[in-house]
Amino acid sequence: MKRFALLAVFASLLVSQGSPSLAQLGPGYSGYSSAPREGTDRDYWHLIRQLGYCLSSSKPDESRDFLATKPGSQGENEAWDGLFRQRRRNPCMRNFTSATMLRAHVRGSIAQAIFKRAFDDREGRMEPVFYEPDIVRNIHDFADCYVAANFESAQTLVNDTRISSEGEIEYIRGMVDGFGPCLPSGADVRIEPTAVRLAIAEALFRTTLAPDASSAVRGGR
C-alpha cells in the first residue's frame, strides 16, 4: 500500500483541476466555447479531441515542451503561449475565435495523440519505464501509480475509447477496482472519468516516450 498525503488534500484528486486558460485567434473568425460543466458541452470536447492531434502534428516540439512542464508553473505558462500565441489564425482552433479551456484537458489530449501515433507506428510494441510514486499527492501521481500496475488496461482505455464519451465512462467503470492500491484507504473520492482518462493518457506518454518528464511534472520547471 502506498503512503498518501493528507486526505483533505486528496478530496479533489480525481476531479478536473486548474484554472481555465484562454486561447485566441486572429480577427475575422467566429465562435466561442467555454469550459464545460461535468463534460456536457459537445463543442468543447470536440475541440479538445481534435486539438491533441492537430497541435502534436503541427507543433511537435512545442507540444512536447508543454508536456514536460510542471502544471501551474511559469514554464507551463510560457509553453502554452508557444502553442497558441501567434499573429495569424491557428488552424488547430478551426472556427473558434477564442476558447476557454482547462490546460489539463489540452495536456491529456496532446499526450494521447502522441502516444496513439507511436503505438500504431510501433505496432503496439511499447517499452514502458514505470514510475511508482511513494506518496500520491495529485492526479498525476495517481495516474503513474495506476499505469504502473495496469499498463494494458490503461492502453486500452486510451486507444479504444473517445475522450468524454459513453464508451469512456463504461470502460472506466470497469477499471475502478484497480484504482484501490493508488487511493487512500477509506477516503471518499469523487471520480470525474474524463479527468482520470486524460491524466492516464499523460502517464502513458511519460512512461513510454518521455520517462525523464516525470521529474519535471513533479517539481521541475
**What is residue 185's predicted lDDT score, i.e. its pLDDT?**
63
Is this prediction's pTM over 0.85?
no
**What is residue 186's predicted lDDT score, i.e. its pLDDT?**
63
Closest CA to 202 of 127, 95, 89, 113: 113
**Could you tell me the sign of the dihedral formed by the alpha carbons of 113, 117, 122, 123, in that order?**
positive
- CB crowding 196-210: b at 16 or more within 10 Å, else e: bbbbbbbbbbbbbbb
DSSP assignment, residue 130?
Answer: -
- In angstroms, the first-to-last Cα distance of the chain is 30
For 40, 112, 203, the CA distances from 118, given in Å and listed in that order, are 30, 10, 14
Going residue by residue through the chain, which has 221 residues, state the pLDDT in tens, using 9 for 90 and above: 554 443 333 444 455 455 556 554 333 323 333 444 443 478 889 999 999 999 999 999 999 999 999 999 999 999 999 898 765 667 787 666 566 789 999 999 999 999 999 999 999 899 999 998 888 888 899 999 999 999 999 999 999 999 999 999 999 999 999 998 898 666 677 889 999 999 999 999 999 998 766 555 654 44
For 9, 28, 32, 207, 211, the CA distances from 83, given in Å and listed in that order, are 31, 20, 18, 23, 22
Q: In the chain, where are the structural domains located?
A: 3-219
3-class state of residue 214 by DSSP: helix
**What is residue 210's predicted lDDT score, i.e. its pLDDT?**
84
Closest CA to 84 of 25, 18, 29, 20: 25
H helical segments located in the chain: 7-10, 42-58, 60-67, 74-84, 103-121, 139-149, 151-160, 166-175, 193-209, 213-219
